[in-house]
Structure 1
Amino acid sequence: MICRNYPKRVPTLPLRRAVRQLLQSEGRSRAEVSILLTNDTEVHQLNLLYRGKDSPTDVLSFGQYTALSDRVSLLSTDGLPLLLGDVVISVDTAIRQAQQHSLALADELALLAVHGTLHLLGYEDETEQGAAIMRLKEREILGVSLDPVEKL
């Protein structure tokens, strides 16, 4: 985990625990995820460069593999930890979202880390069904009890 371009100490233990729990629940306990905590400026630049979107966002995921089957075969053949990819989180946006949802910053960062890691595991939120599945998985991992239509 790297914290770059952010002047204050950021709570990381809850997000590391949440990602570890997610990976275990998905049968990927030996997998690795790189997490970068940074600011809106850097996330904005990455979002523009890699997604063509000229705005900051809360979390970006950059997977090492394009298909789940690629990850399965690599994990089973060499026995080494599987490098799933990178998750980049804007702490600036996480702070704003935590305030909007009346959450602690640590909880919002954990949610964003889990969300980004779910993308690395092949989950999508571009469709209603995919988004609903991701929200349910986030709730399961984070122990959040929300109304099913409420967005995390």
Structure 2
Amino acid sequence: MGCPDAELSVTLTGDRGIRILNREYLGRDKTTNVISFAMQEGEFGAVNPDVLGDVIICVDTAAREAEEADESFFGRVAFLLLHGILHITGYDHERSGEAEAARMEEAEARIFGILKEEGLV
């Protein structure tokens, strides 16, 4: 990802916690599987370039998604962490159109594939 010495905060929460964060910070009053907050954006983004940001993963939603997809809980959480890190490092599948969404999906597949090959997920 080009930031080997960077810091990242990872929080695991439940449906209630992620819904509160989603409502308060993103204006969406519902649960979601992962939210990320980039610290290198905005007016003070350059204050500490070694701090990437925060990734908040909802373990309740991750567990439901893992069960529905017949995959491991750990694998689902690892994928959501990767998804959040990609958002923090500049990937966007929601606001930047289909080409950027495809670029993010390719990066997810490539990196997650490497993690699987290495036996890490």
Instruction: Name 1:44's counterpart in structure 2.
Output: 19
Select 1:115's aligned residue among 62, 83, 104.
83
Instruction: Name 1:132's counterpart in structure 2.
Output: 102
Aligned length: 110
Aligned pairs for 1:61-140 within 5 A: 61-66=36-41, 75=49, 82-126=50-94, 127-140=97-110
* 2:114 is the alignment partner of 1:141: no
Per the normalisation by structure 1, the TM-score is: 0.67
Relative contact order: is structure 1 or structure 2 higher (C-alpha 8 Å, sep ≥ 6)? Answer: 1
Superposed CA offset, 1:78-128 (max 9, x none): xxxx11000000000000111111110011001100000111101101222
Q: Runs of 4 or more off by more than 4 Å in structure 1?
A: none
Structure 2, unaligned runs of 5 or more: 115-121
Using the aligned pairs only, state the percent identity: 39
Amino acid in the other structure paired with 2:64: R
